[in-house]
Structure 1
């Protein structure tokens, strides 16, 4: 193990260091980490919104609309905050005005991902509240916030970088309005941004509405040829699904959101067939489908995509103060399979060191779980459960209360921790070095 860690430090760490210190990569990392407080607090409210104990969930359902608000305005529009953070960080690295660039990046992101405003007209002569429509919105112009979540994080990264680079280019080429000396900086910066703002608006407006180009739609269409092999009983299809989801996450793209339009209908069909067969008296061992969404949720995504609960535990015992603190903050959300604090806090996004085990570990545990199922040691998934139930309990419940399913979760957790460990040690060493440098400069 020590030799492998040394090999990682000699071969991978230098390359990873160069990549991670690159200006744009640094801005992406800083911008995403800045959203950490939002994702942590929002994650706790997500747990309450999907409480795994039915009696408690039923009681909380009467407050659902209120409980949902903090989650919707934190994790629910995370990409919007990330755009400003990435734009601001990149601008500061160029010694540009961070506030102006942050607003330009946010503007370009909104133009790119948000659908056109919907206009709702008054309904003449109808007493909406009188007929039971108490929650009907008033007439006016509305936009959907669904596209502002982490599912649009790739668009967030692209638009933030492009907007700042446009501003930098135009300022360097002096394609701006220069104000006389003595004008307050905040006023001067506003006029400097006029031409870049016009260019940014025209560019992203043209891409979105003239050329009608959608980044997320483009990626989904790119994956459509694979739809016939991504679900069912094929180990290759299951591994490909896991690879694509984790790979997109490492790139900063919400993996399930990209894969969802392609694979979710097949996942839903697979679990529906299993549930129907189980209701008809078929044994959980003899159900038709292995690779349901629940198979990945309980056996592979232990603590969330990438099996990050194992990494959380390693962080808890880290010598790095930052990693140890992040581990403490991420433990409870991770226990309930919510891992945005880890993905955006470590971060795993755009991280060449932690990105490798984030992809590799689920590939291994998927293979192990497949052969355990094929050998008849664990049953297939027979029910759907809320994703916030801790994995060993949920796996036990979902497979007709078969204890070996919970044991398999523990086995996969140990395997995942073992795969993460050497990469964690390299990442920890880099973090400790960074903390020492910051302490010496203080």
Structure 2
């Protein structure tokens, strides 16, 4: 075991840290995270549009088109906001003008994602004759295209600035004005390039990228049990090494997670049927049914610590309980520690995998509808699970069941760990009295 831990520490950890600190991946992670408030608020409107009360649909029928607007301009345009956030984050790394670069990225994304529609035969009360823009392509279906477009835009902008190919103004000109003129040549290049690719050559960047990434997305965050378990394993594996698991996996998995939950929300908003949604292994599935108390299902370990005979473990359990209740588990991960701990790493990895399998079976047998809302990660798991599955009480029952399973898995390892601490405390007590 010691040799394995040494290998992980010397070989695997440095590679993982390099991946996690790669600036393009960091920009993707930070840019996607910047849209989090929009998706959460959009989720509340999804819930508001589909409240499971008899007669509710008839009650809001006249107001539904108005209530649907916040959802359409948050979740329904998420790729547009992501294009701004990713470019803004990457431009900050390169020390470029972030505002100009991010706005240029939005422009590039709009050019590549929207093809104007010419309506010659109007439909009364629906659409008039004229030239229209279809904003449906700004939603989750174009998220990966938005990311790639943003990265390319920033790199093109950087190419010109690095080689000092720009319009220069005297130093007396205000910086905001000078920055605008600096961006003129890169802006022209970006517009012409993406216009030629999309509207002259008719090459749809968003569709091609989505097609290329869809097999990986369907495997990791789709409905594959093996893919879902692999995602869970990788996150807790990196945590066990002392590396923030979502920080390493985030740049790769988060765009897929966000695209999946947004697709679920859009389908649910249209159909109101939570049992037949596109994706099972969303981030929210893992958050509420697998990470009970945080990655590794550590709330169970916290509770065991609270009743420990070892003074240190008991005090740590008390300190970690309230954060753990709200899914914050750094105190227990680094306090116990679980990191690089041969005893606690085993249940830390095993418990969430078992929870994932049990939860998968509940969903497969339609005992619980699929996830249709995105709530803040600090909402206690039973409550969030009930709300995000269209107010299904059985979802809360499953959370409690998985918590009990985690308790059973952690218990024998906890007793071994407790025994070590009791012996240490006994030795310390004897040395003080000697």
The C-alpha deviation readout for 1:284-318, integer Å capped at 9, x for no partner, is xxxxxxxx857975xx66x7343445547438989
Q: Mark the runs of 5 or more structure 2 residues left unpaired by the alignment.
A: 233-248, 264-272, 303-315, 317-321, 329-348, 374-382, 410-434
Q: For 1:119, what is the secondary structure of its paired residue?
A: strand
Task: Please tell me whether the aligned partners of residues 229 and 356 of structure 2 are also in contact (alpha carbons under 8 angstroms).
Answer: no
Tell me the CA shift for residue 97 of structure 1: 1.0
Inter-CA distance 327–43: structure 2 relative to 1 (3 Å threshold): farther
- Of 265, 284, 293, the match for 1:304: 284
Task: Please tell me whether the aligned partners of residues 289 and 399 of structure 2 are also in contact (alpha carbons under 8 angstroms).
Answer: no
2:7 and 2:55 map into 1 onto residues whose CA distance is 52
1:43 equivalent in alignment to 2:29: no
Aligned to 1:220: 211
Inter-CA distance 218–101: structure 2 relative to 1 (3 Å threshold): closer
1:380 equivalent in alignment to 2:368: no
Q: For 2:171, what is the secondary structure of its paired residue?
A: coil
1:87 equivalent in alignment to 2:87: yes
Please say which of residues 41-50 and 98-107 is displaced more in the overlay: 41-50
Aligned to 1:192: 182
1:326 and 1:38 map into 2 onto residues whose CA distance is 25
Q: Using structure 2 for the length normalisation, give the TM-score.
A: 0.57
Aligned to 1:119: 118
Task: Please tell me whether the aligned partners of residues 229 and 353 of structure 2 are also in contact (alpha carbons under 8 angstroms).
Answer: yes
Inter-CA distance 245–40: structure 2 relative to 1 (3 Å threshold): same
1:239 equivalent in alignment to 2:225: yes
1:381 and 1:138 map into 2 onto residues whose CA distance is 44
Task: Please tell me whether the aligned partners of residues 307 and 361 of structure 1 are also in contact (alpha carbons under 8 angstroms).
Answer: no
The C-alpha deviation readout for 1:270-290, integer Å capped at 9, x for no partner, is xx9xxxxxxxxxxxxxxxxxx
Inter-CA distance 14–243: structure 2 relative to 1 (3 Å threshold): same
Aligned to 2:198: 208
- Of 177, 189, 192, the match for 2:167: 177
Task: Please tell me whether the aligned partners of residues 150 and 253 of structure 1 are also in contact (alpha carbons under 8 angstroms).
Answer: no
Tell me the CA shift for residue 409 of structure 1: 5.9
The C-alpha deviation readout for 1:25-71, integer Å capped at 9, x for no partner, is 33223322222222222221121122233433442333221221112
2:384 and 2:179 map into 1 onto residues whose CA distance is 51
Task: Please tell me whether the aligned partners of residues 30 and 89 of structure 2 are also in contact (alpha carbons under 8 angstroms).
Answer: yes
Task: Please tell me whether the aligned partners of residues 295 and 381 of structure 1 are also in contact (alpha carbons under 8 angstroms).
Answer: no
Tell me the CA shift for residue 369 of structure 1: 5.9
Tell me the CA shift for residue 251 of structure 1: 3.4
2:229 and 2:257 map into 1 onto residues whose CA distance is 10
Inter-CA distance 184–223: structure 2 relative to 1 (3 Å threshold): closer
Map 1:23-102 to 2 at 5 A.
23-102=23-102
Task: Please tell me whether the aligned partners of residues 32 and 254 of structure 2 are also in contact (alpha carbons under 8 angstroms).
Answer: no
Tell me the CA shift for residue 245 of structure 1: 9.5
Task: Please tell me whether the aligned partners of residues 248 and 254 of structure 1 are also in contact (alpha carbons under 8 angstroms).
Answer: no
Q: For 1:29, what is the secondary structure of its paired residue?
A: helix
Aligned to 1:314: 294
Task: Please tell me whether the aligned partners of residues 39 and 75 of structure 1 are also in contact (alpha carbons under 8 angstroms).
Answer: yes
Map 1:407-426 to 2 at 5 A.
410-412=400-402
Task: Please tell me whether the aligned partners of residues 370 and 389 of structure 2 are also in contact (alpha carbons under 8 angstroms).
Answer: no
Inter-CA distance 48–4: structure 2 relative to 1 (3 Å threshold): farther
Inter-CA distance 391–47: structure 2 relative to 1 (3 Å threshold): same
Task: Please tell me whether the aligned partners of residues 47 and 390 of structure 2 are also in contact (alpha carbons under 8 angstroms).
Answer: no
Task: Please tell me whether the aligned partners of residues 83 and 157 of structure 1 are also in contact (alpha carbons under 8 angstroms).
Answer: yes
Larger of the two Rg values belongs to structure:
2
Q: For 1:106, what is the secondary structure of its paired residue?
A: helix
1:164 and 1:417 map into 2 onto residues whose CA distance is 48
Aligned to 2:425: none
Task: Please tell me whether the aligned partners of residues 52 and 386 of structure 1 are also in contact (alpha carbons under 8 angstroms).
Answer: no
Task: Please tell me whether the aligned partners of residues 105 and 164 of structure 1 are also in contact (alpha carbons under 8 angstroms).
Answer: yes
1:243 and 1:14 map into 2 onto residues whose CA distance is 24
RMSD: 5.4
2:217 and 2:39 map into 1 onto residues whose CA distance is 32
Q: Using structure 1 for the length normalisation, give the TM-score.
A: 0.57
Q: For 1:141, what is the secondary structure of its paired residue?
A: strand
Task: Please tell me whether the aligned partners of residues 310 and 417 of structure 1 are also in contact (alpha carbons under 8 angstroms).
Answer: no
Q: Mark the runs of 5 or more structure 1 residues left unpaired by the alignment.
A: 231-235, 262-271, 273-291, 332-358, 420-442
Tell me the CA shift for residue 250 of structure 1: 4.1
Task: Please tell me whether the aligned partners of residues 154 and 251 of structure 1 are also in contact (alpha carbons under 8 angstroms).
Answer: no
